Chain A
Amino acid sequence: MPRPAVERQLPDEESRALVELTREIARAELAPLVEDYEASSRYPREQMRLLGASGLLGLPYPEDLGGGGVGYEVYLQVIEELAAVWATVAESVSVHTLACFPLAGFGTPEQRKRWLPDMLGGDLLGAYCLSEPSSGSDAAALRTRAVLDPGSGDYVVNGTKAWITHGGIADFYSLMVRTGGPGPEGISCLLAPADTPGLSAAPPERKLGFSSSPTAQIHLDGARVSSGRLIGAEGQGFKIALAALDGGRLGIAACAVGLAQAALDAAVDYAGVREQFGQPIASFQGVSFMLADMATGIEAGRALYLAAARLRDAGRPFGKQAAMAKLFCTDMAMRVCTDAVQVLGGAGYTKDFPVERWFREAKALQIVEGTNQVQRVVIGRHLSRERG
């Protein structure tokens, strides 16, 4: 029996219809494919196109540039709904939205008019390239170098980007590259199309989870990117990258809450029918307290990411709360998915139930877009800055 839908607070009738549409597509088009696609590491490109045609690949961007014009409060709840059915798809929508941010937030009006409508239109998929093999948490130490060739007016880019979601299948890449000296001030942002000569993807990594989502290194081997594709000014790239991550982290937080919700629902269902010692295991306090803690963590996580989202929608600073939401929600999801495996016992450890997969997927969310240690670093910095 399907569990009742999550009770949502949404601002208007249109956003309720949007969430309804998301649920309908998730139920009818995504749910039947998850197990097969995850087992065979197959990316649901056609289903992403359907989400695109439905307007889900540009939700939080302005309508006049092809976006949906909705706030993060609504966009994130769409992500959460998707994640409760297929985390790979939710993460994919979130990463695509992240990849569009540099142009949407920092491009010139001409650049935005030229490229953004296609990027938000639903047919294209974007990737966000910050990490490198030798710089993950210390992203400002990145080494990929871009040198302007005055003759052609192109940047010539050399280096390797690492762990890139959509690597090899993306249509455009938001690249953070070094155009100046060491440190954050030497970094710039380029928007490179997938067919950039000299840009290529390594074979996808073999991962613990998110198997249907390709993660790959991107090699830049004398890649030529027109200087017209510099987003923002030279040296502004790191600021752009961090601003993008503030929003991206909220996407990851919403993914985590959706994943945890799915795990809770499965655990509650199982605990209600599995009998031991002559009664459903849910009737044992040891199990029901575990379920109660899981449900409480989920509600708290949802409330926290929505509080951060509402700050963002009101145009207020939200970076600290976004880091808190990412930290709290993904740690919570890891705990909830671990406990869900526990509630299902031996069955939970087998691939006959999806909870072991959710458990593996939750782990990634504690690492991506800044590890949870880095989130604490970010929160700590905000605290010292506030003290002055």
Chain B
Amino acid sequence: MAEPRRVLVLVKYVPDAAGERSFADADSTTVRTTEGLLSELDEYAVEEALSLAESGGWEVTVATMGPEQAGAAIRKALQMGADAGIHISDEALHGTDALGTSAVLAAAVRKFSDEGGCDLLLCGMASTDAGMSVIPAMLAERLGLPQVSFASQLSVEGDTVRIRRDSETATETIESRLPAVVSVTDQINEPRYPSFKGIMAAKKKPVTTWSLADLGIEPAEVGLAASWSPVTEVSKRPPRGQGTIITDDGEGGVALAEFLAAEKFI
């Protein structure tokens, strides 16, 4: 049997939107929560990789860059069915901006590729916290790979990946040779839930940890200090003011309509 082809899914550990939140430092917009999870938008990328694997001949690895707790994002992907995980973790990474992140991820992809080849890179369309959507493009640029973004459908035939991208005015079908960096939207599939068997199996799957030294990156190149766009101040949003209360004395509907019109909702 031929060696399986290797797809690497880049995932992010993000704050649970339902959890308690606070800012990590005064000079960073990194949000700390008690609970975090695999970014919902990355679940679509994991699912797409898993369905490729189910079609036969693919091995799925997930990689994340983040603090120790970020291992939870890898674990979730392994529980869903991914084969292996890579956790890029280093004290010096705290506060790294998108440019720095893409440099670290690019180094990790090179290392992954050197160790056994890399035929496809999958990402979500954005992270659910920062939401910049720039990592796939930066990564493709750094690696010199084609970038195909916002796929709402994906298929692979031989060395070609074909995706569909839906916009308001047109639907594009785009082909690229492999390897390529593909980001997928939340329209592409319905991510599966892990099963209890998956939960049990995940325990035994390999997770490798890489430090900056493993990737040949100097701590000074990343982190808060190396950020191109430092955050100068962070403040909490002021509490919301009292809403407008309209008492219905028969004319409530009119008053409501006037309010909505004044606020330009209608």
B2, CB-defined interface residue at 8 Å: no
Question: Given A21-B193, A24-B193, A50-B193, A14–B18 Cβ distance below 8 Å?
Answer: no
One of B18, B75, B195, B203 near A55 (C-beta < 8 A): B195
A21 interface neighbour in B18, B75, B196, Cβ under 8 Å: B196
Any B CB within 8 A of the CB of A18: yes
> Nearest A residue to B79 by beta-carbon distance?
A17
Q: How far is the CB of B74 from chain A (nearest CB, A)?
A: 13
Interface residues of B in 179-230 (CB under 8 A from A): 193-197, 199-200, 203
Interface residues of A in 95-114 (CB under 8 A from B): none
CB <8 Å contact, A54 and B194: yes
Cβ of B195: which chain A residues have Cβ within 8 Å of it?
53-55
A67 (CB) vs chain B CBs: closest residue: B196
Is the CB–CB distance between B18 and A54 below 8 Å?
no
Bound complex: CA A13 to CA B203 (Å): 9
Contact A18 B18 (CB under 8 A): no
* Bound Cα distance from A293 to B23, whole angstroms: 39
CA gap between A18 and B196 in the complex, in Å:
6
Residue A194, interface by CB 8 Å: no
The number of inter-chain residue pairs (CB within 8 angstroms) is: 33
A14-B197 Cα distance, complex, nearest whole Å: 10
A56 at the A/B interface (Cβ < 8 Å)?
yes
B18 to A2, Cβ gap below 8 A? yes
- The 0/1 profile, CB within 8 Å of B marked 1, for residues 129-163 of chain A is 00000000000000000000000000000000000
* B194 pairs with A14, CB closer than 8 A: no
Instruction: Check if B193 sits within 8 Å of A25, measured CB to CB.
Output: yes
Q: Which of A2, A13, A68 contacts B196 (CB 8 A)?
A: A68
B67-90 near A? 1/0 per residue, CB < 8 Å:
000000001000100000000000
Q: Which of A18, A25, A50, A53 contacts B199 (CB 8 A)?
A: A18
> Which chain B residue lies CB-closest to A18?
B196
Residue of B nearest to A78 (CB): B196
Assembly CA distance A131 to B245 (angstroms): 58
* Chain A residues within an 8 Å CB radius of B194: 17, 21, 54
* Chain A stretch 68-112: residues in CB contact (< 8 A) with chain B: 68, 70
Contact B197 A55 (CB under 8 A): yes
- Residues of A1-49 whose CB lies within 8 A of B: 2, 13-14, 17-18, 21, 24-25
> Within the complex, what minimum Cβ distance (angstroms) separates A118 from chain B?
16
* Chain B residues with CB under 8 A of A21: 193-194, 196, 199
Residues of A within 8 Å of B203, CB to CB, are 13-14
Residues of A within 8 A of B199 (CB): 14, 17-18, 21
A4–chain B nearest beta-carbon distance, Å: 11
Question: How far, in whole Å, are A269 and B253 apart by their CA atoms in the complex?
Answer: 30
Tell which of A2, A21, A68 has the most Cβ of chain B within 10 Å: A21
| Min distance, Cβ B169 to any Cβ of chain A, angstroms | 33
Which residues of chain B are within 8 angstroms of A309 by Cβ–Cβ distance?
none
A18 vs B75: C-alpha distance in the bound complex, in angstroms?
A: 13
Bound CA span A333–B193, Å: 31
Alpha-carbon distance between A231 and B197 when the two chains are bound, in angstroms: 28
What's the Cα separation between A50 and B197 when bound, in Å?
14
A360-376 interface with B by 8 A CB criterion: none
Chain B contacts of A2 at CB under 8 A? Answer: 18
Q: How far is the CA of A17 from the CA of B203 in the complex (A)?
A: 11
Give chain A nearest CB distance to B173 CB in angstroms: 32
- Chain A residues within an 8 Å CB radius of B196: 14, 18, 21, 54-56, 59, 68, 70
The residue of chain B having its C-beta at the shortest distance from the C-beta of A17 within the complex is B199
Find chain B residues with CB under 8 A from A54 CB: 193-196
How far is it, in angstroms, between the C-alpha of A382 and the C-alpha of B79 when the chains are bound?
A: 44
A368–chain B nearest beta-carbon distance, Å = 26
Chain A residues near B75: list those with CB within 8 A.
17
CA distance A68 to B79 in the complex (A): 15
Give Cα distance in the complex from A116 to B49, angstroms. Answer: 32
Min Cβ gap A6→B in Å is 16
Instruction: Provide the residues of chain B in CB contact with A70, threshold 8 Å.
Output: 196
Report B11-39 residues with CB < 8 Å from chain A CB: 18
Q: Which residues of A contact B18 (CB under 8 A)?
A: 2
Q: How far is the CB of B47 from chain A (nearest CB, A)?
A: 14
User: Which residues of chain A have C-beta atoms less than 8 A from B193's C-beta?
Assistant: 21, 24-25, 50, 53-54
In the bound complex, CA of A311 to CA of B44 (Å): 43
Chain B hits for A56, CB < 8 A: 196
CA distance A98 to B200 in the complex (A): 24
Residue of B nearest to A12 (CB): B203
C-alpha spacing A21/B37, complex, angstroms: 13
Nearest chain-A residue to B193 (Cβ)? A54
Cα distance, A54 to B197, chains bound together (Å): 8
Nearest to B194 among chain A residues (CB) is A21
Chain A residue at minimal CB-CB distance from B76: A17
B199 vs chain A, min Cβ distance (A): 5
Q: How far apart are the CA atoms of A53 and B197 in the complex, in Å?
A: 10
Question: Could you list 10 further interchain pairs (A-B, Cβ under 8 angstroms) beyond the known A17-B199, A21-B193, A21-B194?
Answer: A2-B18, A14-B196, A14-B200, A17-B194, A21-B196, A21-B199, A50-B193, A54-B194, A54-B195, A56-B196
Q: Can you show 29 pairs from A to B with CB atoms below 8 A apart?
A: A2-B18, A13-B203, A14-B196, A14-B199, A14-B203, A17-B75, A17-B79, A17-B194, A17-B199, A18-B196, A18-B199, A21-B193, A21-B194, A21-B199, A24-B193, A50-B193, A53-B193, A53-B195, A54-B193, A54-B194, A54-B195, A54-B196, A55-B195, A55-B196, A55-B197, A56-B196, A68-B196, A68-B197, A70-B196
